[in-house]
Amino acid sequence: MTALVHTRDDLQPFLTGFANGTRGVVMTMGALHEGHLALLKQARHDCDLVVATIFVNPLQFGPNEDFDRYPRTLDDDLKLCAEAGVDVVYAPSVDEVYPGGQPIVKVTPGPMGEVLEGEFRPGFFTGVLTIVNKLLNLTSPNMAFFGQKDAQQLALVRRMVLDLNMPVEIVGVPTVRDEDGLAKSSRNRYLSPEERVTALALSRALFAAQDSARATEGASAVRAAASAVLDQAVATGGLTVDYLALVDPRDFSEVSPEFSGEAVLAVAARVGATRLIDNLPLTLATPGAR
C-alpha cells in the first residue's frame, strides 16, 4: 500500500526504516502519466524504498506561464503510484518546502542553463535546481530518477551533483512516447485533437534527423532533415518553433558541422497556447564515413 505524507516529520520514519537499504526518489509535479510510470517502475526495480514527490514548484514558473492552471490530480496520481509499487508519496505544501518564503539563496545553473530552455524561460533552471537540491535534502535518497525527455534538466542535475559533491546517483530513463510518436507530457492534455496532430511534427522532425544520422550524413544534414519537417508544419499553420538545436550533451553547446560522437537534438515549439519540448539522443559520424 502506498502511503501519503505531507511533512518531513511524517516522511522520516520511512527513511530511517530503510537506513541500510537503497532509497530512490522520483520527483514530479503531479499530473502523472506513463512517462512518470516508467521512472517509478525503474526506481522500484533498483531500490528497496521508493519515494515519489508531488510538488508544483512555483519557483520554476515565469509570471506569464501556467502555474495556476497546471493540472493537479493527486487522487489519480496516488493510484498510479500504487500501481508502480511506490512506498510513500511525499506531497508537501509550499510552506513546507519554502518555510522562509521566497528563498534568498538559490542554486544557479551557470552558462549551461542560459541556453535553449534557459533562454526562453529565464530563471527556470534556477527554480529546477533549487527544488531538486531541496528535495534531495528532504528525501535523502541514494538514487534519483529523471526522464531523458527533459534532457537539459537531466544534464544540469547531473552537473549540480558533480560540482557540489552530492552523495546521490542520478539515473536517466528513456523518453516514453505514444504510439504516434508524441512524447508523453502532462501538458499534452491541453491539446485539442487538431493541435495534437500538429504537435506530431516535433517527433517526426527528430526521427527524420535520426534517419539522417544513421546514414552518416553529418551534423548539417541532420539539422536540415529536422528543419524541413518543422518548416512544413509552420507553413501549414498552428506551430511556432522556439528552437531546434543539435548540441553536445556535456554542456549543451551547439556542435560544429564536423562534429562526431554523441549529441542531442532538442526542439521546443508552441502548438496553439501549449508549449512542448522533445529531444532525441543521436550518434553522429563524420559525414560519409562507413
Angle at 49 between CA 45 and CA 50, to 5 degrees: 70
Burial label for 180, CB within 10 Å (0-12, 13-18, 19+), is exposed
Question: What CA–CA distance (Å, rounded) separates 85 from 1?
Answer: 8
- Ordered alpha helix ranges (H), the chain: 8-17, 34-46, 74-84, 94-97, 117-120, 124-139, 151-163, 193-214, 219-236
3-state secondary structure at position 284: strand
Residue 105 has a CB neighbour count (10 Å cut-off) of 6
Q: What amino acid occupies position 33? A: H
Q: Judge whether 33 counts as a catalytic residue.
A: no
Going by C-beta distance under 8 Å and a sequence separation of 6 or more, which residues neighbour residue 205?
225, 226, 227, 229, 230, 244, 267
User: Phi/psi of residue 135, each to 5°?
Assistant: -70, -30
Residue 279 has a CB neighbour count (10 Å cut-off) of 24
Active-site residue among 6, 33, 36, 45?
Answer: 36
Question: What CA–CA distance (Å, rounded) separates 167 from 143?
Answer: 9
Positions marked catalytic: 36
